[in-house]
């Protein structure tokens, strides 16, 4: 609680998640450099649970790690927003008033002090987010509520519906299950409806093949999740959760996409361990070795393209670095240009960033599902069309808000 109450520092210190990001980046850089030198790729299986004969894949670990890191960053941003709104509404002299001035029962006061609630400001902030954060029983909450109501200059709105309540960081951890569940369902459905050519190795040539083999519908351990489906499903989960708690969906989406960009930066490394998401042959020094190549492509011919001497574009790395750039831009705007943003700006900017990056990535990917018309392959990746449909209106919205409408 002490950390939360002092989190709004206007960027004067490095947030702890940056250290984790730096360590992760360093470890992945070492693994990639070792691969570039030796051609060695670690096994896609992280470990085996022998009792259940069940394999845990690195892909899943990176996805879960990305979700956890993204949620952490989102929670930190929410805490900053809460502190900002709190300080805008509650005068400094009122915040500094000692806790003893409320004349709370000694037992309650001791309990609050243990939780670093040392003055009226601390109490109002935590109570406004949620009375449950104070760790008091039902009777204790009633006593505190009564004391606050009778405290001069304390507005009733701060007690029952504080302006900073919307940014309770606990909402992140409460809502992440909704977002993940529907996000995974959406991501899987998108992939099932537009399976990549690499799935032919699993006997999947079209969406119908999934329904002929239902067990493949839920087999996501080795890949098969579409980001656009995850965005749609995750947004639906966020919508349901925010509606239930009477908070703004779009405002929270603005923060969620910051964490999502970070999650994509981390999660894309699972594709490296899976030997997937790579582009065409390259002589660039960062070209990677691929052993299990996309079936049906010219590069699947090992005799013509030997494993030891053929290198491919690391498309996963390009998308990971693009996601990191997206994260840095969104985070910087969220923390330093808050007053210049309108609700929905970060969401729109994220969609533009991702769509543009995806369009560029599709230029080199080998396993993209392409559009067909009357049985004729048009050669246009489905993801490219979806990206254009998303990027154009979102870019226009941002231009309209900040240039056209303002002028």
C-alpha pair distances (Å), 318 with each of 104, 158, 333: 58, 47, 23
Q: Quick: pLDDT tens for 89-98.
A: 999 999 999 9
Categorize the per-residue pLDDT at 203 as very low, low, confident or very high, splitting at 50, 70 and 90. Answer: low
CA distance 254 to 344: 6
Q: Tell me what pLDDT residue 202 has.
A: 61
Q: Does 182 have pLDDT greater than 50?
A: yes
Nearest to 320 by CA among 68, 66, 75, 71: 66
H or E stretch including 381?
A: strand 376-381
Q: Tell me what pLDDT residue 2 has.
A: 41
Q: Tell me what pLDDT residue 59 has.
A: 86
Spell out the domain ranges in the chain.
2-85+165-404, 92-152
Q: Quick: pLDDT tens for 294-329.
A: 776 788 888 898 988 899 999 999 999 999 999 999
Query: Model-level pTM greater than 0.75?
Result: yes
Q: Tell me what pLDDT residue 220 has.
A: 63
Q: What is the share, in percent, of the chain residues with pLDDT greater than 90?
A: 65
Q: Quick: pLDDT tens for 122-138.
A: 999 999 999 999 999 99
CA distance 133 to 136: 8
Angle at which helices 58-89 and 120-129 pack, to 10 degrees? Answer: 130
361 contacts 376 by C-beta, under 8 angstroms: no
Q: Tell me what pLDDT residue 7 has.
A: 47
CA distance 59 to 227: 15
The beta strands (E) that lie in 182-253 are given as none
Q: Quick: pLDDT tens for 362-404.
A: 999 887 777 777 666 677 888 899 999 999 999 999 999 888 7
Categorize the per-residue pLDDT at 204 as very low, low, confident or very high, splitting at 50, 70 and 90. Answer: low
Return the minimum-mean-pLDDT range out of 96-100, 156-160, 216-220: 216-220
Q: Quick: pLDDT tens for 108-120.
A: 999 999 999 999 9
CA distance 262 to 67: 8
C-alpha pair distances (Å), 38 with each of 31, 41, 309: 10, 9, 12
């Amino acid at each position: 609680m002490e950390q939360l109450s002092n989190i709004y520092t206007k960027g004067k210190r490095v947030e702890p998640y940056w250290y984790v990001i730096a360590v992760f980046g360093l470890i992945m850089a070492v693994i990639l450099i070792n691969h570039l030198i030796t051609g060695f790729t670690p096994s896609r299986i992280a470990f085996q649970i022998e009792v259940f004969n069940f394999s845990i894949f690195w892909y899943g670990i990176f996805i879960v790690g990305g979700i956890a890191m993204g949620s952490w960053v989102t929670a930190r941003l929410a805490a900053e927003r809460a502190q900002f709104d709190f300080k805008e509404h509650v005068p400094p002299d009122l915040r500094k008033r000692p806790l003893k001035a409320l004349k709370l029962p000694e037992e309650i006061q001791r309990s609050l002090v243990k939780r670093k609630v040392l003055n009226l400001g601390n109490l109002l902030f935590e109570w406004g987010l949620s009375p449950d954060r104070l760790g008091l029983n039902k009777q204790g909450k009633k006593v505190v509520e009564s004391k606050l109501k009778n405290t001069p200059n304390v507005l009733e709105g701060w007690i029952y519906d504080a302006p900073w309540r919307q940014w309770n960081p606990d909402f992140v951890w409460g809502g992440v299950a909704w977002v993940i569940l529907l996000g995974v369902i959406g991501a899987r459905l998108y992939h099932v409806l537009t399976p990549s050519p690499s799935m032919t190795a699993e006997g999947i040539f079209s969406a119908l093949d999934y329904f002929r083999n239902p067990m493949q519908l839920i087999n996501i351990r080795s890949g098969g999740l579409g980001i656009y489906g995850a965005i749609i499903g995750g947004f639906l989960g966020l919508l349901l959760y925010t509606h239930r708690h009477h908070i703004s969906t779009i405002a929270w989406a603005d923060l969620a996409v910051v964490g999502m960009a970070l999650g994509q930066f981390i999660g894309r490394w699972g594709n490296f361990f899976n030997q997937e998401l790579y582009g065409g042959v390259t002589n660039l020094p960062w070209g990677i070795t691929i052993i299990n190549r996309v079936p049906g492509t010219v590069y699947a011919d090992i005799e013509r393209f030997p494993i030891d001497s053929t290198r491919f574009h690391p498309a996963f790395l390009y998308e990971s670095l693009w996601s990191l750039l997206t994260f840095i831009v969104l985070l910087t705007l969220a923390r330093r240009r808050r007053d210049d943003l309108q609700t929905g700006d970060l969401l729109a900017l994220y969609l533009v960033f991702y769509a543009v990056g995806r369009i560029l990535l599709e230029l080199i990917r080998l396993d993209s599902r392409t559009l067909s018309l009357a049985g004729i392959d048009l050669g246009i990746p489905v993801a490219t069309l979806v990206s254009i449909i998303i990027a154009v209106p979102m870019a226009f919205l941002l231009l309209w808000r900040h240039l056209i409408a303002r002028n």
